[in-house]
Amino acid sequence: MAFYSRLSRFINGFLIVVGSVAMLSMMAIVVGNALGRAIFRTPIFGTIEDAGMAGAVLVAVALGFAERERINIIIRALFDHFPPRAQFILNCFTLFLSLGAVGYLFWSALEKGLESLTKEELTIVTQVPVAPFRFFWAFGILILCLFLVQHLVERIAKGEKK
């Protein structure tokens, strides 16, 4: 378990660094574009595409980070009124349902990444390959899947102890 905990912290640190770089680049692109338009009357070529790809990376890493830190949205107003056994069952069910949906999303993202790779798909304006960003999106979803599995196993293990 100690190895998994260290691996989880390493992945979390990696996600924070990659997300920070993506956010900084996105901010620099947008601010540079605004300043370029205001001062030099010339926008940055491909701003929307570049900011969109950086945003895809940012969201991909934020998904796994939010699940690991358990800062996702839970409806407490209704959930807290249920007895502990019902809360346990509903929590396991929603984690299992989320895992199925996110697993399907991962599979679809991986297929789209492979399709982009084989077709050598490029962005329209800057002619940047799309496949690496689609694969990174799939990687972020895979990380989310792994943390969902971890939380489901922890929840079931905690429920067995009671």
> What would the DSSP string read from start to end of 71-105?
-S---HHHHTTS-HHHHHHHHHHHHHHHHHHHHHH
Enumerate residues 6+ apart whose C-beta is below 8 A from 126.
45, 46, 49, 50
Chain position carrying tokens 């940012």: 58
Structure confidence at residue 120 (pLDDT): 94
Enumerate residues 6+ apart whose C-beta is below 8 A from 133.
53, 56, 57
Task: Tell me the domain boundaries of the chain.
Answer: 2-73+81-161
> Angle 4-148-63 (CA atoms, 0-180°, nearest 5)?
100
For the entire predicted model, the pTM comes to 0.77
Structure confidence at residue 25 (pLDDT): 92
Structure confidence at residue 66 (pLDDT): 79
Residue numbers in the chain where pLDDT is lower than 70: 1, 71-78, 160-162
